[in-house]
Structure 1
Amino acid sequence: MTGDHYFTPQPGTAPDRREIEFSAAGRDYELVSSGGVFSAYRLDPGTAVLLRKADLPGPGTTGPLLDLGCGYGPIACVLATEAPAAEVWAVDVNSRARELAAENAARTGAADRIRVAAPEEVPDGLTFAEIWSNPPIRIGKAELHTMLLHWLPRLTPDGVAWLVVGRHLGGDSLHRWLTEQGWRVERPASQKGYRVLRVTR
């Protein structure tokens, strides 16, 4: 066993590549994943709930859109497919996740519209019409709050963030904390122990 986590910048876990199949918005996806990234061997249940219950962008959406903590890229690939006019930024600290996300962007025919980047590679002045995230709860509350305080203010004035958090991992307390920070937070859906949060200014 190694000490790797999915938020390890340079995972040492053996790659162990495999195919992940799932459906979203009536479309089938077949992406490649690997050891050393988040939910390496299946579509994470929280991500599945988010893609099923949140309001996916449509053909008229131009973005930019952000998949924060993109892992191997399932959310970014769905966003780029549903919103073919939008630029999607797929951001992750994990170098292997970024490599896989770029490969999966090519698999879905969206390599020209999915910009895979480390957090520090995102231009400072760039703002996002939508932010999507199954946030890395296990990095700890302080680090999670720091991350959200950095990225949520980069929403456009009328932008929306969609987050999914397990109730048992603090979904309700995160809802309260975001409200205390001055964000408008709604919970339009809950399913299988996960909270879907819609966050706006």
Structure 2
Amino acid sequence: MSQGRQAGHTGDEQYFSAQPGSPDVRRTINVTLAGRPVKVQVSNGVFSSSRLDLGTSVLLKRAPEPPESGDFLDLGCGWGPIALELALLRGKARVWAVDVNERALDLTRANAQTNGLTNIRATLPDDLPGGQGFDLIWSNPPIRVGKAVLHQLLMDYLPRLNPGGAAYLVVQRNLGSDSLITWLSSQMPTDWGVAKYASAKGYRVIEVARP
């Protein structure tokens, strides 16, 4: 479940492998996060291993300002751009970065340390504290895993939204963003809101809001 598998994927190991089989060849790239230049490490076997993915970039630019504090989740963190953005924007928040890919988690931890961010917790899904809820979820989810796996993933985490919390998911339009909105609307409690929040560059940002 490396962060967002919507384009430019290099193999199934990004989806399911705890330990990618490709060589761990790390490279430093420069990206812009939270409006500032940031140096990060990337590697093989982790999504978007040479740049900031376009879908992720759309999410970071179009999602609303996060709350001042709380528990935030980057679901499928990859090398950590979403978690890093949230931690840079909100130093009082606790940012959970979750992925099944241990190389992705190691990169996220290294990138947090390099940039002096102590409020990121990079963890495997099974290592999340039991009953942990979230005030905010940002995700570029792994669309290409297929509907059944994607739907299960979303239903494992969206119900963890705390009252008043919201999730923002970026999904490529031609990979089923509109049908995902319809499906989510049928699955979430009737008083929850599910809607298209923004569109840009062929992507939709979907909002799931708990009252």
Assess same fold via TM > 0.5: yes
8 Å Cα contact 1:134-1:165 kept in structure 2: yes
Counterparts of 1:100 and 1:200 in 2: how far apart (Å)? 30
Secondary structure at 2:13's aligned position in 1? coil
One-letter amino acid of the counterpart of residue 71, structure 1: G
2:17 corresponds to:
8
Shift of 1:157: 1.0
Shift of 1:5: 2.8
8 Å Cα contact 2:71-2:136 kept in structure 1: yes
CA RMSD of aligned residues (A): 1.5
1:71 corresponds to:
78
Is 1:117 the counterpart of 2:123? The answer is: yes
Shift of 1:13: 0.6
Pick 1 or 2: higher relative contact order, CA cutoff 8 A, min separation 6: 2
Shift of 1:6: 4.2
One-letter amino acid of the counterpart of residue 32, structure 1: Q
8 Å Cα contact 1:7-1:93 kept in structure 2: yes
One-letter amino acid of the counterpart of residue 158, structure 2: L
Is 1:28 the counterpart of 2:37? The answer is: yes
Counterparts of 2:204 and 2:98 in 1: how far apart (Å)? 22
Shift in alpha-carbon separation, 1:162–1:64, aligned structure 2, 3 A: same
Residues 110-151 of structure 1: CA distance to partner in whole angstroms, max 9, x if unpaired? Answer: 1x2100100000012110100110001111110110011110
1:200 corresponds to:
209
After TM superposition, the score normalised by the length of structure 2 is 0.89
Counterparts of 1:78 and 1:7 in 2: how far apart (Å)? 25
8 Å Cα contact 1:20-1:43 kept in structure 2: no
Is 1:44 the counterpart of 2:50? The answer is: no
Residues 168-198 of structure 1: CA distance to partner in whole angstroms, max 9, x if unpaired? Answer: 1111111111111134112121111100111
Which of 126, 130, 133 aligns to 1:127? It is: 133
Is 1:157 the counterpart of 2:174? The answer is: no
Counterparts of 1:2 and 1:178 in 2: how far apart (Å)? 27
Which of 172, 179, 182 aligns to 1:173? It is: 179
8 Å Cα contact 2:33-2:81 kept in structure 1: no
Counterparts of 2:147 and 2:12 in 1: how far apart (Å)? 20
2:26 corresponds to:
17
Is 1:57 the counterpart of 2:66? The answer is: yes
Shift of 1:107: 1.4
8 Å Cα contact 2:72-2:137 kept in structure 1: yes
Counterparts of 1:52 and 1:42 in 2: how far apart (Å)? 16
Which is worse superposed, 119-128 or 22-31? 22-31
8 Å Cα contact 1:24-1:52 kept in structure 2: no
Q: How many residues matched?
A: 198
8 Å Cα contact 2:33-2:84 kept in structure 1: no
After TM superposition, the score normalised by the length of structure 1 is 0.94
Shift of 1:20: 2.7
Shift of 1:9: 1.4
- State the 4+ residue runs in structure 1 displaced beyond 3 angstroms: none
